[in-house]
């Protein structure tokens, strides 16, 4: 199967992006370099083509009940325009995906990981017994662009029919861009303030180039990954998968046991009392060498007590940082461990998450 291309594909190629396959799409991994792109987002603003993320609308009278059934966070308590993070889990509590749900006056939308698009669409259909919702996959009809960084608010000024600068964090609004309908949300995956904008495909390049003309730095998936790692945001397929439950992933805040029944509730509730399974931690490594996914985490007796799920030298903090799962007795902050990188033991310490938190 050949990879899909976003409406910005040609722009990326023309601007010397290095393209890689990712989640069924051909995406830019970097333009000028991961380091400078990462620093641009922390210090000013960067621009990301995130059209590969799946965008799905859910309508009809049963949409709310269906979402409450498949989503760990509360949907009924959301206000119009609000955006909420949560998990889609199996009966056994294993995570199928982490998604954002948007609430509109007339329905809902969800943003799903690119690699999980078909899995989640199939899951929604298979779990909709008695709760018919009109589910429409709008991924291929729209372009999604993220502008991230402290300058984002001033950059969006005047770009849309509505003033979006007053949008609260994790809220979205419908607006118009060049007289066509769009959606602007104050969301992101970098640890910075910023906006994510969905426009019809025909306006994708125009929106992108308007930001570029204002000096926003184009960024690829490489810096997106180092930014989210520095901000300790989990990435599906690395920190999250079908064998990991939300509690041990450190995402209990995105699970609402008091909202009524939902798929996986009993298993996740049971997981809250399970003190034997490995939990997600942050690790700071001595020196500049990076720990990589799959590296063994060992204790003073050289016994494996965990595994790295993501790791890199992080450009802004200029530290070698990693996330991983370790047995609970080694998970407290200050715990001194080693990470086995190709036979070399790198000393590492468990540190609080997130590694990086922006100043408000």
**Contacts with another protein, residue ranges (CB under 8 A):** 18, 29-30, 33-35, 38, 222-223, 225-226, 287-290, 292, 312-313, 315, 341-342
239: Cβ contacts below 8 Å, ≥ 6 apart: 249, 280, 309, 310, 323
Least spacing, CB of residue 211 vs another protein, in Å: 23
Q: Is the dihedral of CA 359, 217, 194, 351 positive or negative?
A: negative
Query: Of 39 and 248, which CB lies nearer to another protein in the complex structure?
Result: 39
Query: Of 215 and 287, which CB lies nearer to another protein in the complex structure?
Result: 287
Which two three-digit tokens encode residue 332?
Answer: 């407290």
Whether residue 338 contacts residue 346, with contact meaning beta carbons closer than 8 Å, is answered with yes
Query: Of 108 and 355, which CB lies nearer to another protein in the complex structure?
Result: 355
From the number of C-beta atoms within 10 Å of its C-beta (0-12, 13-18, 19+), residue 261 rates as exposed
- Exposed e or buried b per residue across 317-327, where buried means at least 16 C-beta atoms within 10 angstroms of its C-beta: eebbbbbbbbb
Query: Of 178 and 292, which CB lies nearer to another protein in the complex structure?
Result: 292
Would you give the end-to-end CA distance of the chain in angstroms? 44
Least spacing, CB of residue 189 vs another protein, in Å: 17
CA separation for the pair 64, 245 (Å, rounded): 24
Least spacing, CB of residue 155 vs another protein, in Å: 25
Query: Of 33 and 215, which CB lies nearer to another protein in the complex structure?
Result: 33
Query: Of 220 and 246, which CB lies nearer to another protein in the complex structure?
Result: 220
Least spacing, CB of residue 33 vs another protein, in Å: 5
Least spacing, CB of residue 202 vs another protein, in Å: 31
DSSP symbols for 72-126:
SS-STTPPTTBEEEEEEE-TTS-EEEEEEEEEETTEEEEEE-GGGHHHHHHHHHH
Least spacing, CB of residue 230 vs another protein, in Å: 11
CA separation for the pair 222, 256 (Å, rounded): 33
Residue among 12, 84, 85, 8 nearest 51 (CA)? 8
Query: Of 291 and 305, which CB lies nearer to another protein in the complex structure?
Result: 291
Least spacing, CB of residue 251 vs another protein, in Å: 26
Query: Of 32 and 254, which CB lies nearer to another protein in the complex structure?
Result: 32
Least spacing, CB of residue 48 vs another protein, in Å: 16
Between the alpha carbon of residue 310 and those of residues 95, 98, 174, 324, the distances in Å are 17, 17, 35, 7
CA separation for the pair 312, 209 (Å, rounded): 30
Residue among 316, 148, 166 nearest 219 (CA)? 148
């Amino acid at each position: 199967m050949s990879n899909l291309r976003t409406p910005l594909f040609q722009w990326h190629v023309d601007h010397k992006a290095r393209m890689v396959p990712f989640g069924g799409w051909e995406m830019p991994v970097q333009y000028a370099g991961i380091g400078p792109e990462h620093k641009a987002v922390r210090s000013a603003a960067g621009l990301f083509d995130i059209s590969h993320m799946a965008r799905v609308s859910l309508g009809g009278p049963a949409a709310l009940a269906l979402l409450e059934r498949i989503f760990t966070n509360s949907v009924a308590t959301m206000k119009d325009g609000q955006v909420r993070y949560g998990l889609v889990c199996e009966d056994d509590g294993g995570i199928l995906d982490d998604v954002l749900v948007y609430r509109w006056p007339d329905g809902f939308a969800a943003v799903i990981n690119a690699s999980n698009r078909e899995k989640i669409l199939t899951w929604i259909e298979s779990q909709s017994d008695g709760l018919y919702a009109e589910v429409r996959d709008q991924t291929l009809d729209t372009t999604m662009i993220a502008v991230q960084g402290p300058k984002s608010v001033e950059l969006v000024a005047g770009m849309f029919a509505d003033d979006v600068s007053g949008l609260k964090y994790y809220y979205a609004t419908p607006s118009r861009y060049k007289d066509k309908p769009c959606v602007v949300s104050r969301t992101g995956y970098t640890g910075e303030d910023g906006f994510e904008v969905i426009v019809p495909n025909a306006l994708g390049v125009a929106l992108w180039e308007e930001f570029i003309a204002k000096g926003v730095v184009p960024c690829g998936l490489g810096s997106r990954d180092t930014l989210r790692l520095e901000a300790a945001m989990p990435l599906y397929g690395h920190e999250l998968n079908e064998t990991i439950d939300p509690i041990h992933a450190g995402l209990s805040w995105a699970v609402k046991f008091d909202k009524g029944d939902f798929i996986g509730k009993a298993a996740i509730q049971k997981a809250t009392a399970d003190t034997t399974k490995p939990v997600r931690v942050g690790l700071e490594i001595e020196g500049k060498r990076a720990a990589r996914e799959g590296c063994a985490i060992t204790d003073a007796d050289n016994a494996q007590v965990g595994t790295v799920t993501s790791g890199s030298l992080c450009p802004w903090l200029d530290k070698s940082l990693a996330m991983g799962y370790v047995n609970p007795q080694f998970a407290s902050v200050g715990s001194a461990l080693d990470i086995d990188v190709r036979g070399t033991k790198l000393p590492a310490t468990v540190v609080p998450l997130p590694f990086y938190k922006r100043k408000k």
